[in-house]
Amino acid sequence: MINVIDNIDSTNSWLAQFNLDFFDSIISLKQSEGRGRQGRSWESHEGGFYYSVVLPNNDLLPIIVGISVAEVLYENGIIAKVKWPNDILVEGKKLGGVLCQMKGEKVIVGLGINMDNKSSLEKSISLSALGFSIDKLDFISKFNEKINSAMEDSNEDIIEQFLIYDCLIGEHVSWKEGNGQVVKLAEDGRLVVRDSLGELIFLTDEVHLQ
């Protein structure tokens, strides 16, 4: 079931209060306390897309979500890249982000996309600035279809799909404890990076492009 609401603190926090079924979801026109990854906040003015959905746990779920968003955007004419694990970039700027939160065997997946809203962040971009507009309910239905279908795929196929949209392989990145060059994505979804000593490091947290 999709719950549609005018305003909420955070669609992720709202879903987390209930014991819901897979694919139960909420979309809000705005959020007063939108949350981003790593404890950051997520600007959530009217015009943006703020959606959360309950999904089954899967090692590669963050990757699957990124691919699914990029595919729906592509079908609407928008060429997006995914910065591992699931930042959605267009022209090198952030169009959207995903916040996955574990709740038992379920995961609350929150998706924010800049649509008709203006973000104050310099390195962000919106669909309206790109000259595009997507119906939000249509986006949700296509996104859920993609998720359902990707859940049936093998890890190998999911990684292969991810590589179509990836923008990190071969790039120099930094993370909390170091820096290095991205080699590949491991089968369990970790990012494999070669550090300055030639060691392979398997990362689970986000990285920054240098």
Closer to ligand BTN by Cβ: residue 43 or 153: 43
Q: How far is the CB of 115 from ligand BTN (least distance, A)?
A: 12
Q: How far is CA 55 from the centre of its chain?
A: 14
Burial of residue 105, with CB atoms counted within 10 A of its CB: 0-12 exposed, 13-18 middle, 19 or more buried: exposed
Q: Which of residues 95-154 bind ligand BTN (CB under 6 A)?
A: 97-99, 110-112
User: Considering the rule CB under 6 A, would residue 62 count as an interface residue with ligand BTN?
Assistant: no
Q: In whole angstroms, how close is the CB of 69 to ligand BTN at the nearest point?
A: 11
Per-residue DSSP letters for 78-114?
A: ---EEETTTEEEETTEEEEEEEEEEETTEEEEEEEE-
DSSP state, 65?
H
Q: Toward ligand BTN, which CB reaches closer, 71 or 87?
A: 87
Q: How far is the CB of 150 from ligand BTN (least distance, A)?
A: 19
Structure tokens, 13: 């926090």
Sign of CA dihedral 190, 191, 196, 197: positive
Compare residues 40 and 208 and give the one whose CB is closer to ligand BTN: 40
Minimum distance from residue 124 beta carbon to ligand BTN (Å): 10
CB closer to ligand BTN out of 135 and 187 = 135
For ligand BTN (CB under 6 A), the number of binding residues is 20
Task: Copy the structure tokens of residue 130.
Answer: 């790109």
Cα 108 from Cα 172, distance rounded (Å): 31
CA distance 93 to 154: 30
Q: Could you give the angle at which helices 155-165 and 61-75 cross, rounded to 10 degrees?
A: 50
Q: Which residue is nearest to ligand BTN (CB)?
A: 97
Q: In the complex, what is the shortest distance from the CB of residue 200 to ligand BTN, in angstroms, rounded to a whole number?
A: 26
Find the shortest distance in angstroms from Cβ 141 to ligand BTN. Answer: 17
Site for ligand BTN in 8-37 (CB under 6 A): 10-12, 31, 34-37
Q: State the residues that interact with ligand BTN by CB under 6 A.
A: 10-12, 31, 34-37, 40, 42, 50-52, 87, 97-99, 110-112
